[in-house]
Structure 1
Amino acid sequence: MKLKTAFIGFGKSTTRYHLPYVLRRDNIEVTAIYSRKRKPELEENYKEYNIEFTDNLQDILNNKEILLVSVCSPLQTHYEFAKRCLEAGKNVLVEKPFTETTEEAKELFDLAKEKGLVIMPYQNRRFDSDFLLFKEALKNKNLGEIVEIESHFDRFRPEEAVKPGTPVDGVFWGLGSHALDQMISIFGKPKKIYYDIRSLRDKTKPDDYYHVELFYDNIKVIVKSSHLVLLEYPKFIIQGKNGSFIKYGIDKQEEYLKAGTMPWEKGFGEEPEENYGQFAYIDNGGRMRKDIMHTISGDYGRIYDNLYEAIINKKKKLISDEEALMLLEILTIGIKCPNPKIIDFK
């Protein structure tokens, strides 16, 4: 059985992070795409797929064959569109960061449960190659007990114009939602959190830096991002009582997609060897050993594979309501609370 799907929004999110994966899956069919303004030149690129393009949302809501709608519109419209789709009996995938408030998210989850539907945020970076490798590295017994983890999302954009906006337009809400979700998916709810969220380039604009620490029973997890990092820092670091792991370089899917290389093409997403994971640990004889861990292929389309199983075969969905709400709560506290928390010795 094919899962018939529609999209709300026809911008970069849809064309770069969704369609290249969905259109190559035999069990999913893209039936329609809604855009407030039609884009004939862009529509022409998808002529072979027999997609109905429309500027009337009711064309999607009234189509009983469409079972899943992906909401890829601006954050401020997520709640409205998702609610209308649920009310029309559609399952919904919503681009991160899902909604602007936890109250909106709770309402959508309750409505979905009431109607027996699936709704889920699009946390595609759970299928980044670097994160998949990191998860495998955590299983390596040579590291011993894990005590500290770092995750970085760094860039060097000192001149980049940042538009005026609210905190949800900042890097913490935008990139932090990825990094935090990755950690929540492994470790769950932290016991304590430290926040440092700032605007380094222009204090009148939304934040472009965050340093957040999540404290669990025996592990501290650091997630960090800055737009003022010129010399590359490892993407992931694991420190154990018997060794260390580092991984340089971010997942290459976005880079290849920007360059026009599609997921089905040879070499898509491949990384240079210098970006492979690196282990160093002490063996039973007391000698230091070093190993290389080859990159694991990423695939954002696996989100849709999970949705197919959740909708058609009633399997468990990938991102639980509890995880999505926990992430929104952490993000919301971060932008509302005074930070950083600093002890002033006088």
Structure 2
Amino acid sequence: MLNIAYIGFGKSTNRYHLPYLKLRLDQFKVGRIVTPTLGKRPADQFEWETTGTIFSTDVQDIINDSTIDLVVVVTPSSSHYTMTKRLLEAGKNVLVDKPMAANFDEAKILVDLARKQGLFIMPYQSRRFDSDFLTVKQVIGNGYLGRLVDLEVHMDHYRPNDGIFEGPAIDGSLYGHGVHLVDQVVSLFGAPKSAMYDLRATRILEATLDDQIEVNMFYKNALKATIQTTELATIQYPKWQLRGTHGTFIKYDVDEQENDLKAGIMPGTVGFGVDAPQNYGKLVYFNQSGDRIEKMVPSVLGDYGRIYDSVFDTLVNGAPKLVSDEQMLTVMKLLSTGVSTDSNKLVSFSGN
């Protein structure tokens, strides 16, 4: 049993974290929750208090509690680095919401500090357990596509009136949405040889903060992985497109977990996160006999809670971390480089 604490009790904690913890109370106990305002979510707070969770407004309460095995940081992005550093310096293991820091240098400080202290640190890259991503991994692993040549993944919305005029890069789309997609690509292929960036402000033309991005990552064997996000998509683009020497895979629809969570349908409910057959991805490939095969690929069931299973396995059983230090630093290097370089410029990454 791991005794964990949360810093933050807003939407993200109550939508993307705690509903999955409720199915894992044989492994985790929520010992403390620190929130700036007590009673802001009275029903949710009362529910956890009945299980023994202690609520307070001071992070020092967590630091002073020697029974806490893990702290989960679910605060605004700009505070992630400072809060995580403070916790590591106090000897706490930390699972921090993405992005883990504002740049590569900050991330490197956190990773080095955790290594020096013998502590656990990892970003909450829950979208490694998106249904669509797990299905893509399965298709690649089964070899249907042959040698992969192109992978393209989108995270698109239509939010024309939500543009931000200015702010730190960590509040832009590359860090906000792109961090998920970059991590998915890095988890599949590692660090790219080079990358090209197109970051733009499209809703407020004078804005200094990007809201539309495209990153092309180039790997050996002529493989290119492209991530794209926009806030001006009124017609759905495929979430995934993969092309290889033997076939193509296309999937339009996103993981259903988020849609269900927004609708108040919780993990553990029958049908939660299950993809409808009409939303399965389409695979077209040529088999060893030269026959053209077309079929719909049933979606692998996603489960964001599996990131907690992985943390438990690491802290209790000594298993390797789900997101390795190398992977988290590669992601931060790609993000940092993107916001610090001229758009449409090819950037080489030495040693890859």
TM-score strictly above 0.5: yes
1:27 aligns with 2:15: no
Greater Cα shift, 93-102 or 40-49 = 40-49
Do the aligned residues in 2 keep the contact of 1:157 with 1:227 (CA within 8 Å)?
A: yes
In structure 1, list runs of 5 or more residues that go unmatched.
Answer: none
Measure the CA separation in 1 of the matches of 2:6 and 2:287: 53
1:238 aligns with 2:242: yes
* Residue type of the alignment partner of 1:274: Q
Task: String of CA shifts for 1:92-139, please: whole Å, max 9, x gaps.
Answer: 001000011222222221221122110111101001000000000112
The aligned residue for residue 214 of structure 1 is: 217
1:276 aligns with 2:246: no
Greater Cα shift, 321-330 or 141-150 = 141-150
The aligned residue for residue 18 of structure 1 is: 17
Counterpart secondary structure, 1:212: strand
Measure the CA separation in 2 of the matches of 1:208 and 1:276: 29
Do the aligned residues in 1 keep the contact of 2:163 with 2:211 (CA within 8 Å)?
A: no
Do the aligned residues in 1 keep the contact of 2:200 with 2:211 (CA within 8 Å)?
A: yes
Task: String of CA shifts for 1:305-335, please: whole Å, max 9, x gaps.
Answer: 1111111222211111111111111111111
The aligned residue for residue 46 of structure 2 is: 44
The aligned residue for residue 135 of structure 1 is: 137
Do the aligned residues in 1 keep the contact of 2:132 with 2:255 (CA within 8 Å)?
A: yes
Do the aligned residues in 2 keep the contact of 1:23 with 1:30 (CA within 8 Å)?
A: no
Greater Cα shift, 162-171 or 230-239 = 162-171
Runs of 4 or more consecutive aligned structure 1 residues displaced over 4 Å after TM superposition: none
In structure 2, list runs of 5 or more residues that go unmatched.
Answer: 347-352
Do the aligned residues in 2 keep the contact of 1:8 with 1:33 (CA within 8 Å)?
A: yes
Do the aligned residues in 1 keep the contact of 2:130 with 2:304 (CA within 8 Å)?
A: yes
Measure the CA separation in 2 of the matches of 1:58 and 1:157: 38
Do the aligned residues in 2 keep the contact of 1:120 with 1:319 (CA within 8 Å)?
A: yes
Greater Cα shift, 148-157 or 182-191 = 148-157
| Aligned ranges 1:33-182 → 2 under 5 Å | 33-40=33-40, 41=42, 42-162=44-164, 164-182=166-184
- Post-superposition offset of 1:240: 1.1
The aligned residue for residue 256 of structure 1 is: 260
Measure the CA separation in 2 of the matches of 1:49 and 1:264: 19
Do the aligned residues in 2 keep the contact of 1:23 with 1:29 (CA within 8 Å)?
A: no
TM-score (norm 2): 0.93
Greater Cα shift, 315-324 or 36-45 = 36-45
Task: String of CA shifts for 1:28-58, please: whole Å, max 9, x gaps.
Answer: 1111100122235241243432211001222
Sort the Cα spacing of 1:315 and 1:141 in 2 relative to 1 into closer, same or farther, 3 A: closer
- Post-superposition offset of 1:238: 0.9
Q: Please, what is the CA RMSD of the aligned residues?
A: 1.5
1:293 aligns with 2:292: no
Do the aligned residues in 2 keep the contact of 1:252 with 1:269 (CA within 8 Å)?
A: yes
Q: 1:318 aligns with which of 303, 319, 322?
A: 322
Task: String of CA shifts for 1:179-229, please: whole Å, max 9, x gaps.
Answer: 000000010010010111101111233211111111001211111111111
Aligned residues: 341
Measure the CA separation in 2 of the matches of 1:86 and 1:145: 42
Do the aligned residues in 2 keep the contact of 1:151 with 1:235 (CA within 8 Å)?
A: yes
Sort the Cα spacing of 1:244 and 1:55 in 2 relative to 1 into closer, same or farther, 3 A: same
Counterpart secondary structure, 2:48: helix
Q: Aligned residues: percent identity?
A: 43
Measure the CA separation in 1 of the matches of 2:91 and 2:289: 63
Do the aligned residues in 1 keep the contact of 2:165 with 2:206 (CA within 8 Å)?
A: no
Counterpart secondary structure, 2:111: helix
- Post-superposition offset of 1:161: 4.3
- Post-superposition offset of 1:284: 4.3
* Residue type of the alignment partner of 1:37: T
Counterpart secondary structure, 1:141: coil
Counterpart secondary structure, 2:144: helix
* Residue type of the alignment partner of 2:244: G
Measure the CA separation in 1 of the matches of 2:35 and 2:333: 31
Greater Cα shift, 179-188 or 156-165 = 156-165
Do the aligned residues in 1 keep the contact of 2:216 with 2:225 (CA within 8 Å)?
A: yes
Sort the Cα spacing of 1:221 and 1:287 in 2 relative to 1 into closer, same or farther, 3 A: same
- Post-superposition offset of 1:11: 1.1
TM-score (norm 1): 0.94
Do the aligned residues in 1 keep the contact of 2:199 with 2:213 (CA within 8 Å)?
A: yes
